[in-house]
Structure 1
């Protein structure tokens, strides 16, 4: 009993991942890019955005901001490494229409603003606006459970639950 009350703090093992964008959640199989649909980068879910605002899906730390601002890497408190990739083939836009509000090393909470983007410009210049949310270190995950399909709201709708041993 003493150890239970005063022992080492137990590490967070399971984390809820919330929608980083408002829109419609879809399965990765529906993403028109084999890198994502065939889970080459990891498992997850995707959202077809209805607005150009990306927020943090977890409490964690920013570990990567691509120079073109089209993708962000976050490490959740349980160790899950999450890639948010805004649109498909958006790297070719060279940052046009994207504005990052965070930097590598920033601590973030669910709902904190990460990136703003011009949704209409992405529709015009990229292959797709669909935004994959990928757990890139799935080899370390004990379980990844999809929580959403259909309409989701950024920062409030759970889309995935990830558990590490």
Structure 2
């Protein structure tokens, strides 16, 4: 859509009209410019950065390294890297992340989420022998463009049943 506000149009109108007409035209031009800016904002998808990934059953999770979720079902803005397992923030803002785990039976387990190398939170489990439980945790994290977010198994071992190991994130505000 062609913009209605054109500074060259306004300057030519200023020369040909009275003071009252100029004020009225300036107010109209300002309103048109504001409406066009609002239309641009409405078209801009503030939640454009989002991803949803999981780990395929044939992959093993190792302790002390980033979990590389290799099944990508959604990756708008290409923030998640399925080779490294790291989400690199493409648009600054507040993000909502979830991560899950399925601890091995009777094993103490800790799975943590990190931002730029700093541990933010973890899922810690100590389950009795012969039992396991699917666990999920959510975090709100303020990110700047280029910040890294990833998940790591710190202690223990995980079962990898279909859909049990997931990592998701999306931008919720500026």
TM-score calculated relative to the size of structure 2 = 0.32
Q: Which has the higher helix share?
A: 2
